[in-house]
Structure 1
């Protein structure tokens, strides 16, 4: 593939990358240190229309993740400060992590970095015991469906 072509996204059965990213306060969060299953939700940009709609829907249904014992982590290439302002504005009660520098490394490791646009694509990955158990990746401009998340949670 060329330098701008995306890698193939991780699929069910693939090992989950071990990554460490700063949260909205700059505190490093290591994926391997999060206990229990984790839903990693990559999104292109804070403050953008589709991303705001998707993450607000997750915020409004956070109890579904909590009931399943799943930690929800949102990840974008936005800087920490932008993510913190957006999280405060929207009242997100889950962690947002910055993949700003090295730019897009986490998104690349999951196969969802859009090098042409310099952003993460829309990809969600349910991880358990260090393995991808479910994933969905949508085309640019296409929101993910909440029912898909619920179906994934039901498999645990």
Structure 2
């Protein structure tokens, strides 16, 4: 099954600023390992970058990808303005161009853009593998980043109504 890796919103202004998200360094290492294995297998990798007019202006320093990421010249970059990586972006056309049927999703933030993109991908008929230890969030007043990630791993993987599987899998166990 043709696969693509989607790395969501791991940008300097969201990911590198202090305080950093839960397990920020570890998640970046896992994302880099996952993307490296994907590239070695000929699987396309897309880095999706959020932007707005307030603090993530296009091409600003804060908009750039995290300094912890290893980006290859073969990778694609996709701009977005909502939590949904598909809405008003070229993502769906890019996936179709590569005949993708399954997406591996990782990045930031578990409860916003990772969650929304996972649900939208499944709604569009893509099988989804959520890299269970390679997405993260900041601690919030009501829940820690660790809890938020665990909650979304359990919740998203429990959704069956889209008719395609959503599986939460440790990044080291994702095969291409």
TM-score bracket for this pair, using the shorter chain length: 0.3 to 0.5
Whichever structure has more strand as a proportion of its residues is 1
Higher-RCO chain (CA-CA 8 Å, sequence separation at least 6):
1
Taking structure 1 as the reference length, the TM-score comes to 0.42
Using the size of structure 2 for normalisation, the TM-score is 0.39
